[in-house]
Amino acid sequence: DAKTTQPTSMDCAEGRAANLPCNHSTISGNEYVYWYRQIHSQGPQYIIHGLKNNETNEMASLIITEDRKSSTLILPHATLRDTAVYYCIVLDSNYQLIWGAGTKLIIKP
Amino acid sequence: DAGVIQSPRHEVTEMGQEVTLRCKPISGHNSLFWYRQTMMRGLELLIYFNNNVPIDDSGMPEDRFSAKMPNASFSTLKIQPSEPRDSAVYFCASSRGYAPYEQYFGPGTRLTVT
């Protein structure tokens, strides 16, 4: 079973920041949070991961709350090509990714 | 650099036939993962290898499924005999290191069993 909870779907206007929330209230102290996305008919794509501190790369920013029970992925200037399913993931006991249903993000012109 | 390469991209076969899916991981990656994705069950890990050795095959649905990694640059997933319920998109992914970290996925093989 997935250890994260995400909204089923979200809309965002092109050019605006897309903020995708994720709850992971049972996360343990040494577990990372990973974000991937899957554009239609393609394989999933790694975006970012983090443990405690906020992280930023060329694709996105990851904000993790101090209690680590939730996080937010931020796409600062969403484009139509960012329309995809976004997965917030933690590892299972075998250190493998647990894929939930994700959030379907639709970027609108 | 070439990413993960999978072949074929599409496969249509009849029930009872043998199906072999192929994967070439990214050079230098020492972990390889096979996933299956369906609308009903989402993305499921079938098996993963580290340094060509199968580490966990608990996700393989039944004995009809088998996977091999004879060397660092090639892996196969075989289904024999195939059944309609095996219809899905099969992804191969690779990563550096034992833990999943950043996995790089191939484009997938869409399998249809009639």
Q: Are A47 and A59 in contact (CB under 8 A)?
A: yes
**Which pLDDT tens digit goes with each residue over B2-26?**
899 999 999 999 999 999 999 999 9
The rounded distance, in Å, linking the Cα atoms of B22 and A17 is 39
Inter-chain touch B100–A91, beta carbons under 8 Å: yes
What is the per-residue burial (b if ≥16 Cβ within 10 Å, else e) of B29-46?
bebbbbbbbeeeebbebb
Inter-chain touch B105–A43, beta carbons under 8 Å: yes
**Which pLDDT tens digit goes with each residue over B50-89?**
999 999 898 998 899 999 999 999 999 999 999 999 999 9
Q: Which residues contact B58 (CB under 8 A, 6 or more apart)?
A: none
> Which residues of B are less than 8 Å from A59 in CB distance?
none
In the block, residue with structure tokens 């043998």: B18
By C-alpha distance, which of B54, B73, B51, B52 is closest to B65? B54
